[in-house]
Amino acid sequence: MTSCEPSIAIAAAEEIVSNPSNLKEPLQLFPPAFAFFQNGKKDDGVFWFYAAQLRVRQQMILENGDRGQLLAITQMTMGGPINNYAFQNTSNLNQILDRVLKWDKDTPNPFREKARTQKLDKQMDQVYAGLDELKSKLINEKNSLEAAARQAASGVEQMNAQMISQRCRKGQPDPAYDNQTKKTEEQLALDYITHNEQVIKLAGGAVKTYPAASTTYSNDRNKGRYDFSISGSKSFYAIVDVNRSSGKPEFRLACVTTLSMGYREAGKDACSQSTIALPK
């Protein structure tokens, strides 16, 4: 669902929402909702966004935990662009909510089935009442709701577009394949440092190299850093920088240090702490 290729993201989202087991944990329906919305199937995104909310609110009546907090976070992160789009056409949103209610009625509902006491059943009814109130509001305040959404649309859409462009920059690996790409890059970095002439000289001959850690700079996915433990006649740590801006990883030996990660001072660049002079 994180793929920058719409057909791949949509196929993955459809696989999630069509799996009945995911109804047992409806929070899992939010990522597909956002994938649909971000990849051109906006009404489907709205539908699953509200379907997921309905089921999570029912789940919260029966199950304790942090779902209320997770729901609030999800509404903040995904709800902005989805709701802004939906509220620009309240008649369409009302029709989508009718579809949500029909889906809820026709689809197995593990939470409604468990609400067998009068008290729990009443709480379930209150969840539906909240949705009915929203539907009434969409009718009674149609003009003002649509005007406010349209006024905010430009800013919301700009922020959303920036988020997509940062995630799907030209030349960057598709986020859907991050794990596979990372493993390949780590192996290339390992090969680079194992055969680096300066490292071999400093270690006093052939070296054994072990990955210690890897990081990607939070403000630039095109840059990253690898930390290797080097064993030879001398042992130390090698810091390797990677630049991906050309479309392929390019490596550079940043420094070598005597300090393992556990002994480095937090907040300081690794290459400023107990570094060793590299041989020419």
Helix axes 90-106, 118-140, angle to 10 degrees: 160
Q: Hey, where are the domains in the chain?
A: 6-167, 175-272
**Residue 35: what residue type?**
A
Task: Tally Cβ neighbours within 10 Å of residue 157.
Answer: 13
- Residue-level pLDDT at 8: 85
- Residue-level pLDDT at 51: 97
Compute the distance between CA of residue 124 and CA of residue 101 in angstroms, rounded to an integer. Answer: 13
Confirm if 253 and 278 have CB atoms less than 8 A apart: yes
Report mean pLDDT in 10-residue bins for the chain, 280 residues: 82 92 91 94 97 94 83 88 96 97 94 84 93 96 96 90 72 61 85 94 90 73 87 92 84 92 83 89
CA distances for 159 relative to 43, 78, 147, 162, 233, angstroms: 20, 12, 19, 5, 54
Q: What global pTM score does this model have?
A: 0.64
- Residue-level pLDDT at 174: 62
- Residue-level pLDDT at 175: 62
Contact residues for 206 (Cβ-Cβ < 8 A; gap 6+): 200, 232
CA atoms within 13 A on the CB side of 121: 4
Joined tokens for residue 160: 């959303």
Instruction: Look at residues 30, 47, 135 and name the one whose alpha carbon lies nearest to residue 99.
Output: 47
- Residue-level pLDDT at 186: 87
- Residue-level pLDDT at 161: 83
